[in-house]
Chains A and B, each alone.
Chain A
Amino acid sequence: MSVLTSSNYLWVLFSTLLLGVASGLVGSLVYWKKQSLMSDALSHAALPGVAIAFLLFQVKDFFILIIGAALSALLGAFFIMAIKEKTRIKEDTAMGMILAVFFGGGIVLLTLVNRYSSGNQAGLDSFIYGQAASMVESDVKIMSALAIGVILIVMAGFKEWKLFLFDPDFGKGLKLPITALNTIYLFLLVVTIVIGIQAVGVILMSALLIIPPVAARYWTHSFRNMLLLSGFFGGISGAIGTTLSAFGDGWPTGAFIVLISGIIFTFSMFFGSKKGMVVEFTILRSKKKELQSYSVKGGRG
């Protein structure tokens, strides 16, 4: 239990909470842009950048590593778009290819790092499955600051994001800068992914972007509430997952975080107040009863 009371734990908890909120918000944008697979492709594409940044600078500095990760993810995004534009290959196929090739490349590079670099590289493995406990105070501060930035940008442009996602053609007519928003959107997505890869890992990071908004959709019919709920679900997944993983030595934080969000999703799917299965079933049954009693009365009359 000493892990839980150490000051490092509280810092890490705070940062994964913020990461979860940021992921929930950005994930909602991704959800309505119908790019869930894109977030998966980009998080996998971040891995080679981590390894290359380490090979070049030979330091395990979080800031340098996430810049490498961001560049590599953006390169992945660029390839996906180029394949989609220049060839007849469909976007999902392009994503599948880029995801696998970049991730494979990343694994090869990590193996090289492990073989040829000096002592302190062992921590790089945590970028695959996530290891919040490996974060030091400076990592946590960078991660928190960037997560807060992401949260503020999504909240400030709430009405703009809505138009951007719902009807971009109409937005163009209102002089909404769609191209610029597209760039900001990609930037938010990449930043959220790279700040999450140390705590959650490249494999599971996309789940933190995909699951909270889907769960939130079951509870609300308003875009604003969906954003808030998704941020809330992401936040508590991050916090609880981090706490659970702190109980054991070397437990993968990412896996616990994703598991918690999975539980939230399952609960929402059944008991969500707007689209949950129980509610839908109840409505259907009461409608049936209503119609039956109506026809019975009609029969008497």
Chain B
Amino acid sequence: MNILEVEGVSAAYRKNTVLNDVSFSIPKGSLTGIVGPNGAGKSTLIKVLLELHPKLSGNVYFFGTSLKKVKSKVGYVPQRGSVDWDFPTDALDVVMMGMYGQIGWLKWPKKIHRKKAMEVLDKVGMADFSHHQISELSGGQQQRVFLARALIQDADLYFMDEPLAGVDAATERAIMAILRELKNKGKTVLVVHHDLQTVEDYFDRVLFLNRTVVAHGNTSSTFTTQNIEKAYGGSVRWLKEGIGIVGTHLQ
């Protein structure tokens, strides 16, 4: 069963068309990496799918229906720069936000919610920082807190916008372990990713995006030099060399 069905989606910022006729479908229980050059529309795609940015044309089906009906089944980890880090709130508080829907509007969180939030913070290795201001956390720690907030939603489909950008190796491993665990539980995860060198290790499916879908499928068959070249166009020469250097070093 396809969890997500995208048909001919287009979107623009003012006069610039950012996405043109994007179509793909995502099967249940997959871990998909969305890759493409800067300005390819990766973040915009996620925002359009989640109706945070208007689409000009096309249809999107979540679980065979519209997003409105299944919003609680969809989790989102935004790019780190999207909130004001100076806002007076601590790690535990941010994670609790993921439960506001469950707590109910205009109601106060109870002890049980706090306990659950602590458990999830512990899972991402942030239990010791529960009462730290978010502004005092490092980039990787902030990312873990946001991940925890998404996890506590207990969604079936997750969108993550560059969760691995600017985090250290330990955090990257921790986050990937959690993503794999989600996948093993039968959840579906889409990740905007920037590092071509780790695509093969991290994702079972890959979607090359450059304003439209360049290629999409199982990583083993789709992650080819040809497709990379097609997606990255002119900038691919040094990229190829880069991968080549790393490749020989590993050997």
Interface positions of A (Cβ within 8 A of B): 32, 156-157, 159-160, 162-163, 165-167, 169-176, 217, 220-223, 225-226
Contact = CB atoms under 8 A, between A and B. Distances in A.
Contacts of B100: 159-160, 163, 171, 174, 176
B50 interface: yes
Which of A160, A165, A221, A225 has the most chain B CB atoms inside 10 A of its CB?
Answer: A221
B163 interface: no
A97 B236 CA distance: 49
B76 A166 contact: no
Given A167-B78, A169-B78, A173-B50, A159 B109 contact: yes
Interface residues of B, number: 30
Interface stretch (B79-87, B197-205, B207-215, B238-246): B79-87
A223 B89 contact: yes
B88 A222 contact: yes
B12 to A, nearest CB: 16
B101 A174 contact: yes
Interface of B: 50-52, 71-72, 74-76, 78, 82-84, 87-90, 93-94, 97, 100-101, 103, 105-109, 133, 149, 153
A156 B107 CA distance: 8
B106 A160 contact: yes
Contact of A223 (B52, B87, B107, B149): B87
A165 B72 contact: no
Contact of A222 (B52, B72, B89): B89
B88 A170 contact: no
B74 A163 contact: no
B84 A170 contact: no
Given A159-B109, A172-B51, A173-B71, A226 B76 contact: no
A231 to B, nearest CB: 15
Contacts of A225: 88
A173 B76 contact: yes
B89 A166 contact: yes
B101 A167 contact: no
Contacts of B109: 159
A169 B84 contact: no
Contacts of B153: 174
Given A173-B75, A174-B100, A222-B93, 18 more contacts: A32-B87, A157-B106, A160-B100, A166-B84, A166-B94, A166-B97, A167-B83, A169-B76, A170-B78, A172-B50, A172-B52, A173-B76, A174-B101, A175-B72, A217-B88, A220-B88, A221-B90, A222-B88
A170 B90 CA distance: 17
Which of A32, A162, A163, A170 has the most chain B CB atoms inside 10 A of its CB?
Answer: A170
B88 A163 contact: no
A169 to B, nearest CB: 5
